[in-house]
Each structure stands twice: as structure tokens, then as C-alpha cells.
Structure 1
Amino acid sequence: MKKPTILVVNDDGITAPGIKSLIEVMQEIGNVVVVAPDGPQSGMGHAITIGKPLRFDKVDLYPGVEMYKCSGTPVDCVKLAVNKVFKGKKPDLCVSGINHGLNNSINVIYSGTMSAAVEGAIEKIPSIGFSLDDFAQDADFSHCKKFIKTITLQVLTKGMPESTLLNVNFPKGANLKGIKICRQANAKWAEDFEERTDPYKRPYYWLTGVFENYDKGEDTDVWALDNGFVSVVPVQFDLTAHHAIPVLNSWDFNDMAVKKTSGADGQSLG
């Protein structure tokens, strides 16, 4: 069988340890092409670069891997890969990560890692985002590799439902109990901004916060990770709240009376 072509991206930058581990797994499966930011781009979400030119340079970091670094965002990397590297011929798979830090629950909205995978799915490429609960630069990704390979081979073999991608998160530590298919937990960061003062007596702020879980279900990604499982959440980029459409259709938009008011000169303001 012909080896699949796999696009590898991330948001921690092309030299991050996490992407090295992901490349190593993907090399066991197929032909790897890497397009990644030239520096950290965490928390960029689905941002794209429109106000300045992008730099896009070939680099030689790992033997046998075609690699490019990009001055833009993770989503820019996917767009450039499709348009300039593959020239419109799509790869068989897009994988993003392995991210240093979790992208469970609401974090999926802010994540550059997941947004790169979402962009792959928008391009109709089967896509997966991988993240580990460890922000350390020397994080150990070795216990993730066998699960990454298993999940990747399943996606390549079975395919993905239309307009869907996978969000995969790993707990820290080697004693993983297995894989659990989950829903996204109802949880969020309760942010705070720590105020400090610079040498010129001007205030500046550091974002801080506490992660709050409002969801007690045992079918969520937060529960799975807290209990030693690899969480796998199917994600879609259609943000329509389909359950709300019947509610809005019950509202009276067409027969609402238009209230007219007058200005000081007596003329109607509409």
C-alpha cells in the first residue's frame, strides 16, 4: 500500500519537543511534511495574518522530513501548506501538536493547536489535535506515542465523519487506563488580571485564573483526564446552535410594532 502523506503542525513552534515526538510517530506511519510557526503561538485560536507579509522558509531539523517554518499563526501554517507545499493536492492527514498543556473543555476555543487541526478539517483533510497535561519544556511525551499511533491508524483506516475532527488530550504520567470517547465538559477559566507596576510607575497586567468545572458528568473530557484516561472528543467547526433554532422560530420577528420617537425638532427618529 502507498504510504499516506501526513501534514504535521503545532502552535508551540517548530523546535518544540512536542512536535518532535509527533513527527517520530508519524514517520512510522507515512511520509511526513512539517509546517510550523517559527516561534510560540499558543492561545492564537483561529487567527490568520492579514496585515503583514508572511515568511515561509525551508529548514533542515530532522533527517528525512520535509520541513518549513512560518512567521504566521498555526492556521497560516495549514493554509500555506495546502496552497504552497501541496499546491492544492491535499495530504491524507493533518495532525497538530503535541501541545504542551491541555486543550480540554473550553480551551479548544483558544487553542492554536486545535485551530490548526480545525483548519485542516475545513480543507476536508482528516485532522487530529494532540495535547499533553504538561507545560514543561522537558515534558515526557513517550507514554503518548502508542495511543497517538493507534488513534491515527484508526482515522486513516476508517475515515472521519464529515466536517469533524478529533481533540485528543493526555494526562501527565505513564499509567494511562486507556482511551475514552467523551464530550466537551462545561468548564471554563475564571480569569483574573494581576496588576503590577513597571519601573516607570505604569501599571501592566498578567493574565491569571482558576479552572472551574461546572460539569459533574462522567462522560466528559475533564472527568476522563482526572481519572487517568486519554480523552477523545469529536469536534465540529459548524458553530450553529441547532437546538436554538426552534426557539428562535417561535419568536415574533415579523409583527413587532415599530415604536416611533421624535427628536427635539419634532421630526420622527424612526
Structure 2
Amino acid sequence: MTQRPLILVTNDDGILAPGIRMLISIMKEIGDVVVVAPDKPQSAMGHAITINNTLYLNKISAEGDALEYSCSGTPVDCVKLAVNEILHRKPDLCVSGINHGSNSSINVIYSGTMSAAVEAGIEGIPAIGFSLLDYDWNADFGQAGKFIHKIASYVLANGLSNGTILNVNIPKLQEADIKGIKICRQAKAIWMEKFDKRQTPQGKDYYWLTGEFVNQDSGEDTDEWALANHYISVVPVHYDMTAHYAIQELNSWNING
């Protein structure tokens, strides 16, 4: 009998978030599921890990035959603990999400959802981060189910290049209105940030981070263009942050000369 794929599911919105519950149900159709996810929201944690506090894992009541654990740490902690303490073999796939909100363009840098997927990639596990462009806690994640199933199945069937992780963003649309899936590059965009400065009744200053997302890229091959034009964007990313194009230029400085 052919062994069913082993799929690790995680996220950054917390183990009880509607997005991950939908992702678990989709992955159960494809393989055997193990869930390790934060016990509370951990959005915008990036690739943070816990080194100065203790970490806790709690087995929770599973839905069906999925093995589920909540973790006191970050999304990256969840993947590390899953690989080293829970799973008896390397997963065939790690999926992270479905995130409540976009992780397109520059948001990939800050995203706990994507950092969990990247950590899986570092461990040599094919990995995908899924995000829906809807921040509502009760967003309709079911509209994306068919596409998520398809992308995950293709990765299981074909694999990914070593160190490559897929960043998948899904527009806030009904299934019938999604035109298809586009393989894209990451758009050049920034957050124009500012801090809302306030004072406590005791006169101590405190700050709320606010800002506006600004797309600086007019290309029609980007994730932002795809999403704006009713496509699901798929961006292959990797954790090698070397600017390879700059090596020759820096060598021309003749620093050792």
C-alpha cells in the first residue's frame, strides 16, 4: 500500500484561527496531517525564535485523525519543535496559513506565516505559505479551497527546487471570479510608516505603528499586479539573501589591494 503524504500544518494567527482550520480540512483530503501552531496570534513575527524563555507544547483535542499541538512560541518555533520533537520522519510537505491578510510583496519579510514556511524550507521540506487578502476573522476561506488543494497537490507530485518556498496570495473574491493562478515575481513596494505618538495619564509617551502600503512597481509580472487583476499570485522565494549580482562590483573595489 502506498504511504499517504505526511503534511505539517502551521500558521501565525493561532491554532484556533478559521484560516488554519480550513487549511487542515483541505490537507486531510491529500495526506496525513500533523498540526503544530501558536497558541495565540503571532502575526508579523518574521523569523523570530524563542531563546530566552521556555517553550511549551500542548496536545489539543484533534478533529478527526489529525494530531494537533499548540505551541507557546513563534511560528518558526512551531516548525523547529515539529521536526525535532514530534514527527518521526521528515514531512513530505509543510503548509502555513491560511493567513488572515496579504503577504504579498515586501510583506513577506515581516510575515510569520511565510517565515514558518521558510524554516521548513531550511529543513529541506517542500513548503508553501498561503494567504487570503481578507483581514476579517470570519473571512470566507472556502472560496480558495480548490486552488489550495491544486497547488499543494502539484508540489507533492513535482517537488520544489532545493531551498525554494512558494508564497501564495489569494484575492478576496468568489471562486468563480478568480481568473486563475499566475507565477510572479515579488513587486517592489514599501510601507510609508509613521508612529502615532500618545501619552499615558501619567505623562509617559507611547507609540502605535501606522502606515500606508505603496506599490512602486508598474510591472505586469508581479504579485501585486496579479492580485489586482483577479489572479492568485505564486512567488517562488528562497532564504539565500546573497545579492549575487553585487559580488563582482564589490570585488572591483580591490579592498585587499
How far apart, in 2, do the equivalents of 1:106 and 1:100 lie? 16
Partner of 1:32: 33
Code of the residue aligned with 2:66 in structure 1: it is V
Partner of 2:165: 165
Partner of 1:217: 219
Helix, strand or coil: the match of 2:35? strand
Partner of 1:264: none
Q: Cα offset for 1:52?
A: 1.0
Q: Deviations over 1:98-154 (max 9, x none)?
A: 000100011101100000000000000000000011111111101111000000010
Code of the residue aligned with 1:122 in structure 2: it is I
Helix, strand or coil: the match of 1:44? coil
How far apart, in 1, do the equivalents of 2:208 and 2:100 lie? 20
Q: Deviations over 1:197-250 (max 9, x none)?
A: 222222211111011111100000010011110000000100000000111111
Partner of 1:246: 248
Q: Cα offset for 1:63?
A: 2.1
Coordinate RMSD, CA, aligned:
0.8
Q: Cα offset for 1:195?
A: 1.2
Unaligned 5+ segments in structure 2 are none
Instruction: Using structure 2 for the length normalisation, give the TM-score.
Output: 0.97
The answer to whether structure 1 residue 16 and structure 2 residue 1 are counterparts is no
The answer to whether structure 1 residue 112 and structure 2 residue 112 are counterparts is yes
Helix, strand or coil: the match of 2:41? coil
Partner of 1:155: 155
- Of all paired residues, the percent bearing the same amino acid is 62
Q: Cα offset for 1:61?
A: 4.2
**Highest Rg: 1 or 2?**
1
Aligned 1:135-150 pairs, distance under 5 A: 135-150=135-150
Partner of 1:259: none
How far apart, in 2, do the equivalents of 1:116 and 1:125 lie? 11
How far apart, in 2, do the equivalents of 1:199 and 1:176 lie? 50
Code of the residue aligned with 1:30 in structure 2: it is G
Aligned 1:63-212 pairs, distance under 5 A: 63-87=64-88, 89-174=89-174, 175-212=177-214
Partner of 1:53: 54
Code of the residue aligned with 2:173 in structure 1: it is G
Code of the residue aligned with 1:124 in structure 2: it is G
Between Structure 1 and Structure 2, how many residues are aligned? 254
Partner of 1:261: none
Q: Cα offset for 1:165?
A: 0.8
Helix, strand or coil: the match of 1:6? strand
Q: Cα offset for 1:189?
A: 0.8
Instruction: Using structure 1 for the length normalisation, give the TM-score.
Output: 0.93
Unaligned 5+ segments in structure 1 are 256-270
Q: Deviations over 1:31-82 (max 9, x none)?
A: 0000000000000000000001101111014222100000000000000000
User: Segments of 4+ in structure 1 off by > 4 A?
Assistant: none
